[in-house]
Chains A and B, each alone.
Chain A
Amino acid sequence: MLAEKYADRIEKIFSKYPDKRSAIMDLLYLAQEEYGWLSGDALEEVAALVDVDPTQAHSIAGFYTMYSEKPKGKYWFQVCTDLPCALRGADDFYQALCEYLGVEDGGTTEDGLFTVEQVMCLAACDRAPMMQCNFHYHENLDLDKVKALVEQLRQEAAAAQGE
């Protein structure tokens, strides 16, 4: 349970806001960090912490694309395909990425490592195609660059597994 495991952090989060309710977004991040995604149980847990109905936590998690209410791969690729990026070939790039990983739009690779997803503008339009991997920016991408990244991440994951 978050409340026990992260008592200090939660206390600190609460201290930043005038009322409990306002802390909900920080706590959702905390839950996502802990569980990898926001399950129904996680939403309930966070809602109970700030004393709102779980529906409110569900609503916020649904509104912001940086929360995920579905299980995710270890690496979460969020590719911007909004208009400016699309003009610089983001659509084709995304297509190629999906084919390379062998997944559908929004899907996760069979080994559970990679999830791909299209998102709205991430404010790096001048360096498109671009994407976030676990909230870190990767810019001016093409298929080769992303292949290299995927390779590297696979090795990291394998190494982590081996330990």
Chain B
Amino acid sequence: MTETVTFYIDGQAYQVAKGTNLVDAAKMHDIDIPVFCYHPKLKPVGMCRMCLVELGSLSVNRETGEVERDEHGEPVFRWFPRLQTACTQVVTDGLAVRTTTEAVVQGRNSILEFLLTSHPLDCPVCDKGGECPLQNLTMGYGPGESRFLIDDKIRLDKHVPLGELIYLDRERCIQCARCTRFCDEIVGDDVLAFHERGRRLQIVTISDPPFDTKFSGNTTDICPVGALTTADFRFGARPWELQEEATICPHCPVGCNLSAGTRLDRDAGGKKIIKRIMPRQNEWVNEIWICDKGRFGHHHTRAEGRLEQPMLKQNGAWVPIDWPAAYDLVAAKLRQYGDSLGVLAGPSLSNEDLWELRKLAGLVASEPKLGVWPAAMTGGDLVAQVGVGSGTMLRAVGPETAILVIASDFEEEAPIWWLQVKQAADRGAAVVVANARPTKLDRYARAVVRYRYGEAVSVLNGFAAQALKDKSLTGKLSESRVAGLSQLRAALKGVKPAFGDAGRMLLSAENLIIFAGGEGLSVAQHRELMQAAANLLILTGRAGRANSGLVAVWPGANMQGAYDLGYSAEATQALLDTPPRMWIIGAANPVAEDARAARAITGAEFVVATSLFMTPTSEAADLVLPRQSFAEREGTFTNGMRRVQRFYTVQGIIGDSLPDWKIFAAIGERLNGPKARISAGAVMKDITAHVPAYAQASYPRLAQVERQFPLVGGDDLYYGGTAYFNLSGLGLAIPPVAEDGSAQLEVRPVTVDAPASTDADLSLIPVRVLYDRDVLFEPSRLMHHRVPPPSVELNQADAERLGIADGDRVAVEGDGYQITATARVDGRAPAGYALLPVRLSSTPAPTTPAACTVRKIGE
């Protein structure tokens, strides 16, 4: 238990955990000590002096050791003669502070007067106006008038681009260093700093590209003035005109909680549209941060080219049809081809969509093949068994927890998890990174394990073998609870632990979290990897505990939800092996992304796709149905940690588009299925009734909130920043099966296939990058500077052998695919491998490892 201490604010006694920062301690008891430079997620620096208070301590009689008391029996305090900064003070027993005395009032008043001498006071045109800590604190604590001579005011640049995303107004900066400290401390990207000093001091960046971090937008939330603004929202609207709507980021498995600032916009014909995206506080998930993809990647919701009507291909031309005709057609085709139906579910379909799609397929096929897209990773069923336990909170883990990140370029695939794991490492968690090539997380890892592509499983087997040698870890397991235990023990007997140090770090901590990506693995190999991870967690008794368990770093927002509802990548593989005659493709673009899938789909007799835009996949379809983006409807996503989270309707509907679940339910009605539900909430009610794991996940339950710390937004925006206070739900973490002590668990020996040797030059390894050309991201034009051109990374030796230099145009070819790309020779690719970032090229390439040749081509 943490020790609590008693301290006094304005004569009143309070209790707080020992070591708490004084400003935080006061805030926990709803007492404001105004601050500018202090931020509860950053280390204190005492730079702005706004937090001045009188500090003292209980007066103790030296002889008796007793607290001295006055005639009323009240304790007596001794006070320091001068004002002190509260933000640099830690609460100790008997500490006393006065926050309302004349001296304190004077102090605050003077600091504000001083800050305002060099402030432009252009609030009427400032984006921060209306939600500005400087405005608010000036109203609350500042002088009513200025004694400053306007002619002596310093004038500075007002539109300094710090890269293409963030603008600096030098006049408004109050030099609190929150932005630079965020970059240094929280992210570790030291790309923002002060230059010069005194009145000439300014924020600068000369990184390449400027302000080179995936988290730059967060600085605008914690900047206490309007000095930092985003290119997306600058001069876009006044904060008080915005209606904030709660939503969830659709881009990656972290599932960051977002707040969409919306208004009826003239430029959108009077429709309600998203003017900006801000983080919504969820300390279980993203805290008060989001990455720049989440913040700026919302333009697909209203970009040009959004489909507005069902479109039917007739003699090679697209003709609009109405919804009833579209439903009838799909129903008829389903009757015709029901026994040869393939379903592909994209990663941004909500649980409700997935449920209705599954029901629809079930109406015509007894065992429908429900595939996910992209089909590069699997094992969501294992996550359901041994996922992270209830109470898991990444932002709170420290030395008692070990974290293994394997087969993932973590920052590219799950930025906010990366940020949290990096900070966990800073707090002393043992972070081990295992991959076939260097990634950015290596910098913060206690140990880095290098293996050859295809051999990731053997690393985990090695750790498991090491665990078996330690009876204190694995001795208590019983065969009756864990099926397959003796087979696993036998299989691991001959395995030599190859990475002893890393293994010791992982096994000696109380908790173990494994983040497993899919890099360099086929679907079959990935299943083995996930099983090996599950084995390790079960063997060591870590499964089913808080801050322990398996997390899949999925390529999308709701792939865990898809697995929970019966979809899988294995089903996709089976469908691609024996292509069906009819496809239903929901919110996915396989034709653009994968050559093999493209062939399987274009060869079918009838293809119906739901889509936001005319993509290569819609082009290949016979009927395209306009779906709604996450912004126009309600739904739920299950994030990678199996937290089910609700998103709400944010903006006006585009054209006649409909949410996927409604489309599938309406078609089902025509096949004598049950009557369509009237709301997403009602669909979720069906899910809770039929899917035991989701039994508690009703909409009212998902909307529950609890008090979170630090406080943000509203009256507290001077403290935690402009991130949004969460009023709409923290979601529900689904406990893994292993958490039930009586549940039966299963382990299974896994084997490592040696990577097949081929005659081809190289093995192609698809890798994921955050900024890609995904349908949901490409329309956000302001991010285009950050999207790399199609490229392939080669090892130095391979490049020399092939006569290829960094920057050359090359052709990458293999069985059934060919793309052109720019060669990168930057030391990341291991010899014998070509790394191909996915979703950058407009021509399809493999999405799982394949053989390839690379050759230089002319300009």
Q: Which residue of B lies closest to A69 (CB)?
A: B195
B207 at the interface (CB under 8 A from A): yes
A63 at the interface (CB under 8 A from B): yes
Which of B142-150, B185-193, B507-515 forms contacts with chain A?
B185-193
Q: Judging by beta carbons under 8 Å apart, are A53 and B196 in contact?
A: no
CB neighbours of B205 from chain A (8 A): 55
How far is it, in angstroms, between the C-alpha of A53 and the C-alpha of B194 when the chains are bound? Answer: 13
- How many Å from the CB of A87 to the closest CB on chain B? 20
Contact residues of B: prevailing secondary structure:
loop
Beyond contacts A53-B207, A55-B207, A56-B193: 9 other A-B pairs, Cβ-Cβ < 8 A, are: A52-B190, A54-B206, A55-B192, A55-B204, A58-B193, A58-B195, A59-B193, A63-B194, A63-B195
Interface string of A46-81 (1 = CB under 8 A from B): 000000111110110011000000000000000000
**19 interchain pairs, CB-CB under 8 A:** A40-B206, A52-B190, A53-B207, A54-B207, A55-B191, A55-B204, A56-B190, A58-B193, A58-B195, A58-B204, A58-B206, A59-B193, A59-B195, A59-B204, A62-B194, A62-B196, A62-B197, A63-B195, A63-B197
A43 at the interface (CB under 8 A from B): yes
CB neighbours of B189 from chain A (8 A): 53
CB neighbours of A54 from chain B (8 A): 206-208
How far is it, in angstroms, between the C-alpha of A79 and the C-alpha of B204 when the chains are bound? Answer: 27
CB within 8 Å of A: which B193-230 residues: 193-197, 204-208, 212
Classify chain B's interface size: 10 to 19
Interface size on A, residues (CB 8 A): 11
CB neighbours of A63 from chain B (8 A): 194-197
How far is it, in angstroms, between the C-alpha of A62 and the C-alpha of B202 when the chains are bound? Answer: 10
- How many Å from the CB of B199 to the closest CB on chain A? 13
CB neighbours of B193 from chain A (8 A): 55-56, 58-59
Q: Which residue of B lies closest to A40 (CB)?
A: B206
CB neighbours of B192 from chain A (8 A): 55
Centre residue among B191, B195, B212 by max chain A CB count within 10 A: B195
- How many Å from the CB of A60 to the closest CB on chain B? 8
CB neighbours of A59 from chain B (8 A): 193-195, 204
CB within 8 Å of B: which A30-52 residues: 40, 43, 52
- How many Å from the CB of A162 to the closest CB on chain B? 39
How far is it, in angstroms, between the C-alpha of A52 and the C-alpha of B191 when the chains are bound? Answer: 9
Q: Judging by beta carbons under 8 Å apart, are A62 and B204 in contact?
A: yes
How far is it, in angstroms, between the C-alpha of A53 and the C-alpha of B187 when the chains are bound? Answer: 13
Contact residues of A: prevailing secondary structure:
helix
How far is it, in angstroms, between the C-alpha of A43 and the C-alpha of B206 when the chains are bound? Answer: 10
Centre residue among A40, A52, A54 by max chain B CB count within 10 A: A54
CB neighbours of A58 from chain B (8 A): 193, 195, 204, 206
- How many Å from the CB of A9 to the closest CB on chain B? 25
Interface string of A118-151 (1 = CB under 8 A from B): 0000000000000000000000000000000000
Q: Judging by beta carbons under 8 Å apart, are A53 and B195 in contact?
A: no
How far is it, in angstroms, between the C-alpha of A26 and the C-alpha of B607 when the chains are bound? Answer: 67
How far is it, in angstroms, between the C-alpha of A62 and the C-alpha of B195 when the chains are bound? Answer: 5
How far is it, in angstroms, between the C-alpha of A43 and the C-alpha of B193 when the chains are bound? Answer: 14
Check A53/B191 contact, CB under 8 A, given A43-B206, A59-B204: yes
CB neighbours of A40 from chain B (8 A): 206
- How many Å from the CB of A105 to the closest CB on chain B? 14
- How many Å from the CB of B211 to the closest CB on chain A? 9
CB neighbours of A55 from chain B (8 A): 190-193, 204-207
- How many Å from the CB of B565 to the closest CB on chain A? 44
- How many Å from the CB of B204 to the closest CB on chain A? 6
- How many Å from the CB of A151 to the closest CB on chain B? 34
CB within 8 Å of A: which B370-407 residues: none
- How many Å from the CB of A78 to the closest CB on chain B? 16
- How many Å from the CB of B160 to the closest CB on chain A? 14
- How many Å from the CB of B217 to the closest CB on chain A? 18
How far is it, in angstroms, between the C-alpha of A63 and the C-alpha of B197 when the chains are bound? Answer: 6
- How many Å from the CB of B400 to the closest CB on chain A? 27
How far is it, in angstroms, between the C-alpha of A58 and the C-alpha of B204 when the chains are bound? Answer: 8
Q: Which residue of A lies closest to B198 (CB)?
A: A120
Q: Which residue of B lies closest to A62 (CB)?
A: B195
Q: Which residue of A lies closest to B208 (CB)?
A: A54
How far is it, in angstroms, between the C-alpha of A67 and the C-alpha of B195 when the chains are bound? Answer: 12
How far is it, in angstroms, between the C-alpha of A52 and the C-alpha of B190 when the chains are bound? Answer: 7
Interface string of B807-824 (1 = CB under 8 A from A): 000000000000000000
How far is it, in angstroms, between the C-alpha of A118 and the C-alpha of B205 when the chains are bound? Answer: 26
How far is it, in angstroms, between the C-alpha of A54 and the C-alpha of B197 when the chains are bound? Answer: 18
- How many Å from the CB of B745 to the closest CB on chain A? 45
CB neighbours of A43 from chain B (8 A): 206
How far is it, in angstroms, between the C-alpha of A54 and the C-alpha of B208 when the chains are bound? Answer: 9
Q: Which residue of B lies closest to A61 (CB)?
A: B195
Centre residue among A53, A56, A58, A62 by max chain B CB count within 10 A: A53
Q: Which residue of A lies closest to B194 (CB)?
A: A59
CB neighbours of B208 from chain A (8 A): 54
CB within 8 Å of B: which A92-128 residues: none
CB neighbours of B195 from chain A (8 A): 58-59, 62-63
CB neighbours of B190 from chain A (8 A): 52-53, 55-56
CB within 8 Å of A: which B153-201 residues: 189-197
How far is it, in angstroms, between the C-alpha of A76 and the C-alpha of B194 when the chains are bound? Answer: 25
Interface string of B218-260 (1 = CB under 8 A from A): 0000000000000000000000000000000000000000000
Q: Which residue of B lies closest to A52 (CB)?
A: B190
Q: Which residue of A lies closest to B196 (CB)?
A: A62
- How many Å from the CB of A50 to the closest CB on chain B? 11
How far is it, in angstroms, between the C-alpha of A33 and the C-alpha of B193 when the chains are bound? Answer: 24
How far is it, in angstroms, between the C-alpha of A62 and the C-alpha of B190 when the chains are bound? Answer: 16
- How many Å from the CB of A21 to the closest CB on chain B? 9
How far is it, in angstroms, between the C-alpha of A161 and the C-alpha of B194 when the chains are bound? Answer: 40
How far is it, in angstroms, between the C-alpha of A81 and the C-alpha of B190 when the chains are bound? Answer: 34
How far is it, in angstroms, between the C-alpha of A80 and the C-alpha of B38 when the chains are bound? Answer: 35
How far is it, in angstroms, between the C-alpha of A57 and the C-alpha of B234 when the chains are bound? Answer: 30
CB neighbours of B194 from chain A (8 A): 59, 62-63
CB neighbours of B196 from chain A (8 A): 62-63
Q: Which residue of B lies closest to A57 (CB)?
A: B206
CB neighbours of A56 from chain B (8 A): 190, 193
Q: Which residue of B lies closest to A58 (CB)?
A: B206
How far is it, in angstroms, between the C-alpha of A54 and the C-alpha of B206 when the chains are bound? Answer: 6
How far is it, in angstroms, between the C-alpha of A133 and the C-alpha of B206 when the chains are bound? Answer: 30
- How many Å from the CB of B671 to the closest CB on chain A? 60
How far is it, in angstroms, between the C-alpha of A55 and the C-alpha of B184 when the chains are bound? Answer: 12
How far is it, in angstroms, between the C-alpha of A52 and the C-alpha of B204 when the chains are bound? Answer: 15
Q: Which residue of A lies closest to B205 (CB)?
A: A55
CB neighbours of B212 from chain A (8 A): 53
How far is it, in angstroms, between the C-alpha of A46 and the C-alpha of B216 when the chains are bound? Answer: 25
- How many Å from the CB of A39 to the closest CB on chain B? 12
- How many Å from the CB of B518 to the closest CB on chain A? 31
CB neighbours of A53 from chain B (8 A): 189-191, 207, 212
- How many Å from the CB of B490 to the closest CB on chain A? 47
- How many Å from the CB of A3 to the closest CB on chain B? 17
Q: Which residue of B lies closest to A21 (CB)?
A: B190
